[in-house]
Amino acid sequence: MKNVVAMVLAGGMWSSLGILAERRAKAAIPFGGMYRIIDFVLSNLMNSDIERVGILAQYRPASLIDHVGIGASWDLFGRSRIAQILPPYKGQDDSDWYKGTADAVYQNLNFIQTYDSDYVLVLAGENVYSLDYRDVIRYHREKGADCTLVCRPLPAPHAERFGILSLDSDGKVTAYEEKPQTISGDYYSAGIYVFNTESLIKRLTADAKLADSRHNFANDIIPDMLRDQANFYGYPFDGYWGYCGTVDEYWQANMELVNEPSAIDLGGWGIRTNLEDRNVSGHQPPLFLPTSRTQQALIASGCRISGTVERSILSPGVVVEEGAVVRDSMIFHECVIQKDALVEQVICDKDVLIGAGSQIGVGESSTPNEQFPEAYSSGISVIGKDVHIGKQVKIGKNCLIYPGRVVQDNEEIQSGGVVQ
C-alpha cells in the first residue's frame, strides 16, 4: 500500500446531531465510551497498511486535532507514515474555506502529489464499520477502473439521503443519482472511493474552474464520470456499516455495543483510540461499590458506580451515586448522576451534573421537539456539555438542553421542550 494516499473527509458541520456537534467536529464525537467516531476509519487504514493519511478538517477542529495528535495511536507516525490534519489555509494563490468535499481534496493536491501515489482513497470520517481497503484497491486494479465506489445493498432506512446506484453483471456503475426523491437502483453509496491519482487530479482541476459546481464528489465528480463513460465500478459491501446521520442513528449504533450478540466487534475489528487523550488517560479501573447493579453495560475506566446501570454506555470518569438509575443511555466523560436520580434514553455530553432525585427522559414520547421536530422525535433527550441540572428536576422526552445552561431545582420541562 505504499502507492496509496488516503484523504479523510472529517470537517463538516452536522446539523442533524445538533448540540453534540456544536463545539466539536462531527468526526470527534465520542462513541462507545472511550472512542471517537473517527477511530473507525483511522483503524481501518492502519489495519489495511495504508500509511499516508490526510485528514481534511474545517469546522471546530480543535477537539479532532487534540485526539488525532501525531497519529501514533494508529501507528501512523514515523519515517514513512503520517496522519496530518489539513485545515483550510491562506496563501498567495489559494485562500478560501472548503466549498465542498471535492474542493477540500483539490485544495490539498500538494499533499497527494508529495507522495507520487498511484491511487487516492477518499473516505468519509463519520461512519462505523470494519473494511480492509486492500480488497477494494485490489478490485479497483483488477477492473482497470478510474474510480471504484464502495456501495451497500438496498433497502436502507431513509435511502433518499444517499447516492443510489445500479451495477451491471461485471460491477460497472450504470446509473447514479444523489439523494433522489424516488428510489430506483440496487445499492446506495457508503462514502468510500478509490481513484486513480492522475484521473482524480484532472477532474478536480476541471471542477474547480466551474462556477456552477457545488464542488462535491457526490453531486459533481461522480455524475460527471458517468456522463463521460469513465471506467466507474461499484464494490458491494454487506458488512455492518453504521451511519450516524441523526441522533437516533447515532444512539442506535452505540446501543449495538451492548446488544447480545453485537454486530460491532471492537476487539476483533482492531479498533484503536488515543489512550493519551486527556479525557481518557490517568483513570483507574472502574469501581463497583456493593450497592451497584449493572446489566448489558459498557463502563469505562475511572467510573464509580454505586447505583444501577442498564443497557447503557459510560465514558471515563462518570459517577453514578447510590439509588441512581441510568437506563438506555449514553453518558459522556466526567458526568455525575447524583443520588436517586433517574436517567432514561438520554445522551448526556461531558461534565454534566444531574442533581439528586431528578428524572431525565421521562414521560410520553409522542411529542416531538419544538425546535427540531424531525430530528428529535424518537424519545431521546440530549443534554449539552457543562449543563448543571438541579435537584428534583423533571425533564421529558425529546428535550434539548443547550451547553452550559443551568436548570434550577424543582423545574419541570415537558416532553419536546428546549432550554436554550
CATH of the domain at 363: 2.160.10.10
Residue 71 backbone dihedrals phi, psi, to 5 degrees: 85, 5
| Average pLDDT score over the chain | 94
Position 416 scores a pLDDT of 97
Rounded mean pLDDT, 245-255:
93
pLDDT confidence of 90, banded at 50, 70, 90?
low
In this structure, are 200 and 344 located in the same domain? no
Whole-angstrom distance, CA of residue 145 vs CA of residue 316: 45
Helical ranges in 315-398 per DSSP H: none
Please report, rounded to a whole number, the percentage of residues in the chain having pLDDT higher than 70.
97
Residue 349, in any domain of the structure: yes
The set of cell numbers assigned to 56 is: 481534511
Last-in-domain residue among 243, 258, 273: 258
The answer, yes or no, to whether residue 344 has pLDDT greater than 60, is yes
For residue 110, being part of any structural domain is answered with: yes
Q: What band does 92 get if pLDDT is binned at 50, 70 and 90?
A: very low
pLDDT tens, 16-42?
778 888 878 889 999 999 999 999 999
217 in a structural domain: yes
Q: Do 254 and 291 sit in the same domain of this protein?
A: no
Pair (302, 408) in one structural domain: yes
**pLDDT greater than 50 at residue 54:** yes
Domain match, 14 and 143 both: yes
Residues 305 and 237 reside in one and the same domain = no
| pLDDT recorded at residue 50 | 97
65 plus 108 within the same structural domain: yes
Structurally, the chain folds into a number of domains equal to 2
Q: Exposed (0-12), middle (13-18) or buried (19+): which is 185, by Cβ within 10 Å?
A: buried
Q: Is the pLDDT of residue 12 over 80?
A: no
Question: Are residue 318 and residue 253 in the same domain, yes or no?
Answer: no
By CB atoms closer than 10 A (0-12, 13-18, 19+), residue 391 is middle
Q: Cα 188 to chain center, whole Å?
A: 18
Domain assignment present for 133: yes
Tens digits of residue pLDDT in 273-285: 999 887 788 899 9
**pLDDT per position as a tens digit, 191-249:** 999 999 999 999 999 999 999 999 999 999 999 999 999 999 999 999 999 998 889 99
Cell numbers for 137: 484497491
Same-domain pairing of 75 and 213: yes
377 is in which domain, residue-wise?
287-419
Answer whether residue 372 shows pLDDT above 60.
yes
Place of cell 462556477: 211
For the cut 80, the answer to whether the pLDDT of residue 168 exceeds it is: yes
What's the confidence (pLDDT) of residue 91?
52
Residues 161 and 238 reside in one and the same domain: yes
| First-last CA distance in the chain | 49
Q: Is the pLDDT score of 339 beyond 50?
A: yes
Please indicate, yes or no, whether residues 68 and 140 belong to a single structural domain of this protein. yes
End-of-domain residue from the set 258, 276, 302: 258
Residue 18: phi and psi, rounded to 5, are 50, -125
The predicted-structure confidence for 130-152, as pLDDT tens digits, reads as follows 999 999 999 999 999 999 999 99
Residues 247 and 107 in one domain: yes
Cβ–Cβ under 8 Å, residues 377 and 396: no
Angle at the Cα of 351 from the Cα atoms of 350 and 357, rounded to 5 degrees: 110
Task: Check pLDDT > 90 for residue 349.
Answer: yes
Q: Are 140 and 233 a contacting pair, CB within 8 Å?
A: yes
Q: How confident is the model at residue 5 (pLDDT cuts 50, 70, 90)?
A: very high
* Matching residue, cell 454486530: 263
Whether residue 413 is contained in a domain is answered as yes
Q: Is residue 263 part of a domain?
A: no
In a domain, 343, yes or no: yes
Query: Are residue 111 and residue 249 in the same domain, yes or no?
Result: yes
Region 377-391: what's the mean pLDDT? Answer: 97
Q: Which pLDDT value is given to residue 23?
A: 78
Domain boundary among 205, 240, 258: 258
Indicate which CATH number applies to the domain containing 122: 3.90.550.10
Q: What phi and psi, each to the nearest 5 degrees, are found at residue 283?
A: -95, 145
Burial class (CB in 10 A: 0-12, 13-18, 19+), 260: exposed
Tell whether 278 is covered by a domain: no
